[in-house]
Chains A and B, each alone.
Chain A
Amino acid sequence: MDRTFPFGFPGATAFYLTIYVLTLVIHVLFMNYVLAGTGYLLFCRWRDGSGSIADRGLRAGDVLRDWMPFALSGAITAGVAPLLFVQILYKENFYTANLLLYHRWMVILPVLIIGFYMLYLLKTQWIERRSALTRGVVTLGALFCFAFTGLSWTENHLLSTDTASWPGLYESGSMVYYHRELLPRLGMWAVGSIPTMALLVAWQLYVLQRSGQEPNELEPRRLALLAVVGIALSVGCAGLYGYQMTSEVRSHVTGVLAGPFLLAGVVGLVIQIVAWLDQGKKTRFCPRALAAGSAGLLLTIIGMTTVREAIRLASIDVTPLYVRHAESAEKGGLYVFLAFFGINAVLVAWAIRLTRSRVVHSAD
């Protein structure tokens, strides 16, 4: 670990680490949309009370409500890929944490199913006819489901790296693991999701704006404010988290291993702030500002996801796993995967294009 990620590792390990981080980045994008989006929907409920605001143009909340179930599908689908690679990379660590948390871990599945249906419920006419309280409770319920899922992943992650605690936790029969890094880390994920969500919604509103559905003219400013507040909070949480780390881990984060990625993350934040300040001054969504913001966002997410990996690599000894990564890398099928990845990417694009071929048929 005396070279920058992923270069200090043997070929196979570096290879799996890289695809793991890249696939996790996709999961993070969707997951952020779901987590912060549901939070924002709750905020909208509270802000708007029971009054109707439909007449003043499109707002972020409308788009979020509409797309949230799909985004959750996306978060789950995109979660499967890193789930595959985390098992190849960390094997026993990942499995043991799963087993120790046991029912507490498995419960995220029914919880996600409930969350899913709550999101669908939020799209129905039925819920619109209910009282503000009912709508608030359903939104809060969905938010709780996703926050709980996030907490569980963070808990599982920290436990997977804390090998010394395993026998004791097992003996106690407790299915809850607490670590002082848990809350700042979770906090970082939670507030860090806000700028991502703001940007993704802004793009959606921009697409609608182009198709003639004008967003509310205050929306660019609101989203800019939201994003900048999210960024500020993330920086705060990151500071707190960094403070909780052991000095050894911190030295890897700021050192050769992950230092460049940390820097990239910070540069990304600055770019995002500048882009949002620009966008916030306008009354319509501006693709240039959003593109700049997206570049910054990607830089930040890739940077921070890599830093996250560096923290894990600094916390556990992965050297015994190198041989096994090399063995895995010898298994066939990579080319078949690459071929179908290409083919299916084209088919996915085609499916999306087909939705543009809208024709209202009058025949039936």
Chain B
Amino acid sequence: MDVPYYPINDYEPLIKGLVIGGLGITHVFLAQFAIGGGMLMCYFQWLAQTGRSPVARQFLDGYFKILVLISFVVGALTGVAMWFTTIQVSPRTIGVMVDEFHWVWATEWTFFCLEVVAGYAFYRCGRNLPDRSRMTLLLLYTVGAWFSLFWINGILSWQLTPGQWGEDRSVWSGFFNPSFWPSLIFRTITSLTIASLAACVVINTMTELRRDLRRELINRAAFCLSPMLLMPALGYWYLNVIPPDSRSWVEGGSAAMTMFMGIAVAASLLIGGYALVGLIAQRLYINGATATLLLALAFGATAGGEFVREGVRKPFTVREYLFSNSIRADEVALLREQGSVTADPFPLRNAGIYANEQLRLGAKVYRFQCSICHSMGGVNGLTHLAGTWTTDQKRMNIAKLQNTKPFMPPFAGNAEELEALVQLIEWHAAGMPRTWETTSNATVLAEIRQWLDEAGTESATRREVALIREER
């Protein structure tokens, strides 16, 4: 078994998770705009061609231009960007995803091609086409866009709830995993929401239309917000199928996760409340500023949701299979024996700043095992987190890392590496002095070994799941 080593870049004082989170949100938001936009336009085309709303056509062409300019360009490229960023954050994760699901991805790609061609055909020729052709093109575009979501949703939801895949390793067990349907329906509704709010913004810019016509369009667009009514039920369904420990993070177990969840829920409630009461029940007009604000809230909800989605997977990127730090669950035991960085071919970038060889070892261990979620002195910084602990407490709590916080993976190195890591943290906390004593106390190492053995090599999530079940 060969553990692959990759060059790990330094994000200090940030951490990688934040970076991918930020990019992910933009992409998800734009991609969902494209999907919902397709559905919304089919609806408006239908309104126009059945004579229900003659101005709908005028809106359609303007809206589609914006959709193409923003979503085609930035949306498509941020899609590639997601791929590239995932490589930057965890090449091993994307490697597993590509190996397992490449045909799913290839299938998604055929829909993506359909989306681009149908969308572009409408963009270039839509104005001069008869209604039937317009409708067909819009439907083809929407089918392409929505199915892209369908396929990618299977892969993303698999990461958190691989379900039956854990046993049979079958692509389709992984794809139609327990959270596949709730998250697919949820994302579909989110897409419609974003598209309708964007439509309200666009309609407000159509100043050439009379206000009553604009109001009519807005009320039509707001109608597409009504599926939001289903969101609470879907959210409940989703929370029910994700692992109990992940659920407990958002229900108060982790301050950050609970906060992001809170943001997502609150923003959705605001949008939903305004839409249902104001726009649909009372048929109010909504001006550009309010529409933009609601759209910004939708962005906030997406942001909260994506952070939760990325966050609750901890300590895994693929549940029970691959840890966030790119160590496979079945490799921990081996790395404890042979050392986690013994075979790492990549030298330190600034080896000269460390006061001794032990610290250099510690720096490599930190880079390999911890830097994905921690910085040293910045975001989630180790010197702060372990700041009040004695040296021995550090040794024990890191040796029992998965027990210290169940959203951390087990420590995957030998006792010497652990001691080096503890020294590194203390050295940083002491302000990186030029000299630092190397420790080599056989009793200490023996004690660390014992703690490591006590903690075992399994993640705490399984035990945690059992505990949470008991409590209920």
Partners in one complex: yes
Which residues of A are interface residues toward B (Cβ below 8 A)? 70, 73-74, 76-77, 79-81, 83-85, 87-88, 91-92, 95-96, 98-100, 102, 105-106, 109, 112-113, 116-117, 120, 166-167, 170-171, 173, 324, 327-328, 331-334, 336-337, 340-341, 343-345, 347-348, 350-352, 354-355, 357-361, 364
User: Which residue from A166, A328, A354, A358 sits with its C-beta under 8 Å from B345?
Assistant: A166
Cross-chain contact A351 with B347 (CB below 8 angstroms): no
* Complex: chain B residue closest to A81, CB-CB: B109
Cross-chain contact A355 with B125 (CB below 8 angstroms): yes
A202 to chain B, nearest CB (A): 21
B208 to chain A, nearest CB (A): 14
* Complex: chain B residue closest to A333, CB-CB: B103
- How far is A106 from B105 in the complex, measured between Cα atoms in Å? 22
- How far is A76 from B83 in the complex, measured between Cα atoms in Å? 13
- How far is A73 from B79 in the complex, measured between Cα atoms in Å? 12
Given contacts A76-B77, A87-B94, contact A102 B125 (CB under 8 A): no
- How far is A102 from B114 in the complex, measured between Cα atoms in Å? 32
Pairs across A and B, CB under 8 Å, 12 listed:
A77-B112, A77-B113, A80-B109, A88-B98, A92-B4, A92-B6, A95-B6, A99-B8, A120-B69, A348-B118, A351-B114, A354-B133
Contacts of A348 in B (CB 8 A): 113-114, 117-118
Query: Which 10 pairs show the lowest CB-CB distances between chains A and B?
Result: A333-B103, A95-B91, A344-B110, A332-B171, A355-B125, A351-B118, A170-B7, A337-B103, A359-B130, A354-B133
Cross-chain contact B133 with A109 (CB below 8 angstroms): no
Which residues of B are interface residues toward A (Cβ below 8 A)? 4, 6-9, 54, 57-58, 69, 72-74, 76-81, 83-85, 87-88, 91, 94-95, 98-107, 109-114, 116-118, 120-121, 124-125, 128-133, 136-137, 140, 143-144, 170-172, 345-349
Cross-chain contact B77 with A354 (CB below 8 angstroms): no
* Complex: chain A residue closest to B82, CB-CB: A109
Contacts of B170 in A (CB 8 A): 332
Q: Is the interface of A mostly helix, strand, loop or mixed?
A: helix
A208 to chain B, nearest CB (A): 14
Given contacts A100-B7, A341-B110, contact A116 B73 (CB under 8 A): yes
* Complex: chain B residue closest to A92, CB-CB: B4
- How far is A54 from B109 in the complex, measured between Cα atoms in Å? 39
Cross-chain contact B102 with A109 (CB below 8 angstroms): no
User: Which residue from B91, B140, B143, B347 sits with its C-beta under 8 Å from A99?
Assistant: B91
Contacts of B84 in A (CB 8 A): 98, 105-106, 109
Contacts of B116 in A (CB 8 A): 73-74, 77
* Complex: chain B residue closest to A111, CB-CB: B77
A347 to chain B, nearest CB (A): 5
- How far is A340 from B4 in the complex, measured between Cα atoms in Å? 35
Cross-chain contact B76 with A347 (CB below 8 angstroms): no
Given contacts A331-B171, A333-B103, A344-B114, contact A95 B87 (CB under 8 A): yes
